[in-house]
């Protein structure tokens, strides 16, 4: 069982997945920081310091904080938008690199003189 586990762990797919998860976590931290530290304060300043997060209903002794839910939706939309813009920029850069690396299409080889002559004779006979 230990041998099988070692084989499973050493397979490329598992290692690739682990690297992807680690990089994804780090990238999530970057995007969350961008949204929380830069975009949300700008939005708060535009709205006059109003914080959606603090919105709530008071029913008797209970407080229903629906603002936190709305804030989570806003955060999700901003994070999705930032990711979309980053991925769009990466895809554009990747396409430019691929386009540069593609070899120019080869010029068609010139038809040998005897074949060109036979083709011309054939075309004349058709007329």
- Number of folded domains that form the chain: 1
- Examine residue 126 and state whether it is found in any structural domain, yes or no: no
- Examine residue 116 and state whether it is found in any structural domain, yes or no: no
Domain of residue 44 covers 2-105
> What would the pLDDT profile of 98-121 be if each residue is shown by its tens digit?
776 666 667 777 888 888 888 889
> What would the pLDDT profile of 13-48 be if each residue is shown by its tens digit?
777 777 788 888 888 888 888 888 888 788 778 877
> What would the pLDDT profile of 65-91 be if each residue is shown by its tens digit?
888 888 888 888 888 888 888 889 988
Specify the pTM: 0.51
Residue 8, pLDDT above cutoff 80: no
Per the prediction, the chain carries an average pLDDT of 82
Task: List the CATH number of the domain containing 17.
Answer: 1.10.1200
- Examine residue 25 and state whether it is found in any structural domain, yes or no: yes
- Examine residue 57 and state whether it is found in any structural domain, yes or no: yes
- Examine residue 46 and state whether it is found in any structural domain, yes or no: yes
- The token pair at 61 is 């002794």
- Examine residue 124 and state whether it is found in any structural domain, yes or no: no
- Examine residue 113 and state whether it is found in any structural domain, yes or no: no
Alpha carbon distances (Å) from 55 to 40, 97, 121: 16, 48, 88
Percent of the chain topping pLDDT 90: 1
- Give residue 12's pLDDT: 62
- Examine residue 122 and state whether it is found in any structural domain, yes or no: no
């Amino acid at each position: 069982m230990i041998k099988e586990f070692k084989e499973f762990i050493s397979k490329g797919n598992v290692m690739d997945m682990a690297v992807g998860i680690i990089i994804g976590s780090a990238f999530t931290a970057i995007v969350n920081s961008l949204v929380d530290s830069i975009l949300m304060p700008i939005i708060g300043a535009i709205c006059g310091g109003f914080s959606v997060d603090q919105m709530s209903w008071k029913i008797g002794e209970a407080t229903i904080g629906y603002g936190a839910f709305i804030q989570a939706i806003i955060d999700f939309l901003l994070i999705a938008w930032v990711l979309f813009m980053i991925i769009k920029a990466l895809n554009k850069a990747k396409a430019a690199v691929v386009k540069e690396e593609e070899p120019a299409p080869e010029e068609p080889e010139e038809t040998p003189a005897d074949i060109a002559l036979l083709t011309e004779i054939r075309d004349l006979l058709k007329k």
